[in-house]
């Protein structure tokens, strides 16, 4: 079964500009773990926003977890619930506790009235506490987010996703703000929870040599197009290197002075 | 400019200081301030204090009642000011409205802040008559200039990243603001409100001078009629009131982080 299937996707931030996304066909199977690599401006974040249903005015066909994505409408709650998003800068409410931040991921299961009056069901509590357990945050549950380290904050952000009970987790450069040790811990955690919950994982990253070892498949983008799509293997290291060597300076050809 | 930068600004600073000093000296002579009178005042001041003792506690009841009225005026005035400051603060927030709107509203708030409370109170007394009502209206109007500005700054400080995260996670608009926006700014808003309430309490002491209710009426009456022992009771009540309110708001502010 496919978790994601894209066909003839085109998107440009300004008409006439080079496309930000230009993808013929791209399929990702359910439960697959994928690294999205490529230089800055290659379209990684744009693609993740499209999959999350937050990109507008693109053309083509996109199906995510069995639902067709619209290029003009905000996705419904039923769809948003299924996609968890992990941000580079954690995106926590700093003054709230770890528990409250993780509860925020559960809101999609609650009506506005219920949530505002704090009437969580036993199932909501169970899911929140499971997420806390899975991410190893038990002892920090009542600490404020602004008292935590970067690695701990990213754990909270992952737990917030898990409280949604997502079928897919999109992680947009989740380790860019972390030291190498914490980065490995976060990657380990993402892989572990996705395996356990049979969720599809797509990680965009600027550390391809590290992330490569955590995923099944590597997709490289350049100028919005797929330029590499390989199974992750010892042999793929050289291909990953080649992507970056070829794209060593992505602006080099654009930066040429215009000759008269 | 050939002058070295720091040398230039150093000279500029010296000239500014000298100019300000000159203005102060000129103002002193213009007012004709007589220092010998200051020297002679010691005896009169002592006499004034001597006549305050012992405090005349027979007015304690009426003075306490008036002090309570002052607290109530400050309280209701602050409450009305909050009601006005939320929409005005939103309009004045650069992150919420277009430049034309927020710049205009900021100017309006600055203008409100520029009108002294006593003047607002006199206008309100003219409009609605004597008593605590003009006092409440004056406090509400006057403090909105500052409170709405503070609220606007709080709204501008909202971190949009958690808002985006909640939106991406399928939260409804009300949930996004209840769980994403409000927790970010609520402590700041409460701190601003308590700070303004303290100011309102102290400023509302003078409302009675123009007939706008509260303890100010007795301050004026007792001093003008040389009833210094009653003034003593009045001073004690005001001190207790102000210190008590400051202690309460200090305690509350410590809880909010």
ipTM of this predicted complex? 0.88
pLDDT in tens, chain B (257 residues): 444 555 566 788 899 999 999 999 999 989 988 888 877 888 888 888 888 888 888 989 999 999 999 999 999 999 999 999 999 999 999 998 999 999 999 999 999 999 999 999 999 999 999 989 999 999 999 999 999 999 999 999 999 999 999 999 999 999 999 999 999 999 899 989 999 999 999 888 888 888 888 888 888 888 888 888 999 999 999 999 989 988 988 888 788 76
CA nearest neighbour of B171 among A167, A104, A47? A104
Would the CB atoms of A77 and B179 count as touching at under 8 Å? no
Per-residue pLDDT, B250? 86
d(CA A206, CA A35): 10
What phi-psi label fits residue B251: left (phi over 0), alpha (psi between -120 and 50 degrees) or beta? Answer: alpha
Inside any domain, residue A166: yes
* Cβ neighbours of B256 in A, within 8 Å: none
pLDDT digits (tens, 9 = 90+) for A36-75: 999 888 999 999 999 999 999 999 999 999 999 999 988 8
Would the CB atoms of A115 and B175 count as touching at under 8 Å? yes
Per-residue pLDDT, B223? 86
Q: Classify residue A130 by burial, with Cβ atoms within 10 Å: 0-12, 13-18, 19+.
A: middle
d(CA B23, CA B15): 12
Would the CB atoms of A91 and B187 count as touching at under 8 Å? no
Inside any domain, residue A251: no
pLDDT in tens, chain A (260 residues): 899 999 999 998 877 778 899 999 999 999 999 999 998 889 999 999 999 999 999 999 999 999 999 999 888 999 999 999 999 999 999 999 999 999 999 999 999 999 999 999 999 999 999 999 999 999 999 999 999 999 999 999 999 999 999 999 999 999 999 999 999 999 999 999 999 999 999 999 999 889 999 999 999 999 899 999 989 888 788 888 887 776 655 454 554 555 44
d(CA A241, CA A249): 14
At A160, which CATH number?
A: 3.40.50.300
Q: On the CB side of B249, how many CA atoms lie within 13 Å of its CA?
A: 19
Residue A157: closest CA among chain B residues belongs to which residue?
Answer: B165
Per-residue pLDDT, B113? 94
Note down the domain range covering A112.
2-246
Alpha-carbon gap: A59 to the closest alpha carbon of chain B (Å): 21
Per-residue pLDDT, A183? 94
Q: How many CB pairs under 8 A join A and B?
A: 75
pLDDT digits (tens, 9 = 90+) for A200-215: 999 999 998 899 999 9
Contact A124, A100 (CB under 8 A): no
Contact B215, B203 (CB under 8 A): no
Would the CB atoms of B179 and A94 count as touching at under 8 Å? no
* Cβ neighbours of A161 in B, within 8 Å: 169
Would the CB atoms of B165 and A95 count as touching at under 8 Å? no
| Token pair for A224 | 């919005």
* Cβ neighbours of A54 in B, within 8 Å: 168
| Total domains, chain A | 1
Which among A92, A103, A112 has the least Cβ separation from residue B174? A112
Per-residue pLDDT, B2? 46
Would the CB atoms of A80 and B168 count as touching at under 8 Å? yes
Per-residue pLDDT, B3? 46
Contact B214, B66 (CB under 8 A): yes
Q: Hey, CA dihedral for B134, B211, B65, B252, is it positive or negative?
A: positive
Alpha-carbon gap: A123 to the closest alpha carbon of chain B (Å): 18
Would the CB atoms of B184 and A84 count as touching at under 8 Å? no
Sheet of strand A59-64: strand arrangement: A21-29, A2-11, A59-64, A67-68
End-to-end CA distance of chain B: 48
In degrees rounded to 5, what are phi and psi of residue A34? -125, 135
Would the CB atoms of B172 and A112 count as touching at under 8 Å? yes
Write down the residue that tokens 């359910």 correspond to.
A30
How does the average pLDDT of chain A come out, rounded? 90
Which among A91, A95, A100 has the least Cβ separation from residue B184? A95
Kindly list the domain boundaries of chain B, sorted by start residue.
70-255
Which overall architecture, per CATH, does domain B70-255 show? Orthogonal Bundle (1.10)
Residues of B with CB under 8 A from a CB of A: 159, 161-162, 164-166, 168-172, 174-175, 178-180, 183-184, 187, 257
């Amino acid at each position: 079964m496919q978790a994601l299937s894209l066909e003839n996707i085109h998107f440009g931030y300004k008409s006439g500009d080079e496309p930000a996304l230009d993808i013929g066909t791209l399929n990702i199977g359910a439960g697959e773990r994928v690294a999205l690599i490529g230089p800055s401006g290659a379209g990684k974040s744009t693609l993740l926003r499209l999959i999350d249903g937050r990109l507008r005015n693109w053309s083509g066909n996109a199906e995510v977890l069995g639902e067709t994505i619209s290029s003009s409408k905000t996705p419904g709650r039923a769809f948003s619930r299924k996609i968890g998003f992990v941000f580079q800068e954690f995106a926590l409410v700093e003054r709230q506790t770890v528990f409250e931040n993780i509860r925020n991921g559960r809101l999609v299961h609650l009506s506005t009235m219920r949530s505002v009056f704090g009437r969580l069901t036993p199932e909501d509590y169970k899911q929140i506490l499971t997420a806390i357990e899975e991410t190893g945050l038990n002892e920090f549950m009542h600490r404020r987010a602004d008292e935590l380290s970067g690695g701990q904050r990213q754990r909270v952000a992952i737990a917030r996703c898990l409280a949604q009970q997502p079928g897919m987790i999109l992680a947009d450069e989740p380790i860019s703000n972390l030291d190498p040790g914490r980065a490995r811990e976060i990657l380990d955690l993402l892989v572990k929870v996705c395996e356990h919950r049979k969720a599809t994982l797509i990680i965009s990253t600027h550390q391809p040599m590290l992330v490569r070892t955590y995923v099944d498949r590597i997709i490289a983008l350049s100028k919005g197009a797929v330029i590499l799509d390989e199974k992750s293997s010892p042999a793929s290291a050289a291909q990953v290197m080649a992507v970056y060597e070829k794209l060593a300076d992505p602006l080099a050809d654009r930066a040429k002075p215009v000759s008269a | 400019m050939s002058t070295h930068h720091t040398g230039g600004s150093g000279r500029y600073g010296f000239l500014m200081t000298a100019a300000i000093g000159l203005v102060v000296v000129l103002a002193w002579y213009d007012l004709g301030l007589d220092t010998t009178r200051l020297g002679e005042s010691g005896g009169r001041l002592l006499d004034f204090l001597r006549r305050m003792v012992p405090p005349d506690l027979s007015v304690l009841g009426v003075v306490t009642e008036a002090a309570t009225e002052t607290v109530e005026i400050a309280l209701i005035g602050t409450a009305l000011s909050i009601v006005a400051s939320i929409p005005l603060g939103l309009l004045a927030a650069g992150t919420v409205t277009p430049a034309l709107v927020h710049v205009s509203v900021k100017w309006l708030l600055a203008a409100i802040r520029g009108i002294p409370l006593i003047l607002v109170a006199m206008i309100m007394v003219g409009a609605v008559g004597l008593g605590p009502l003009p006092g409440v209206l004056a406090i509400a109007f006057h403090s909105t200039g500052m409170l709405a500005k503070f609220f606007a700054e709080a709204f501008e400080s909202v971190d949009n990243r958690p808002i985006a995260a909640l939106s991406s996670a399928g939260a409804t608009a009300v949930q996004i603001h209840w769980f994403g926006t409000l927790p970010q700014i609520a402590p700041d808003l409460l701190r601003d409100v308590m700070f303004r309430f303290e100011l309102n309490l102290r400023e509302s002491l003078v409302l009675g001078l123009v007939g706008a209710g509260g303890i100010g009426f007795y301050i004026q009456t007792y001093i003008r009629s040389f009833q210094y022992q009653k003034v003593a009771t009045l001073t004690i009540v005001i001190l207790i009131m102000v210190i008590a309110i400051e202690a309460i708001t200090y305690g509350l502010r410590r809880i909010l982080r």
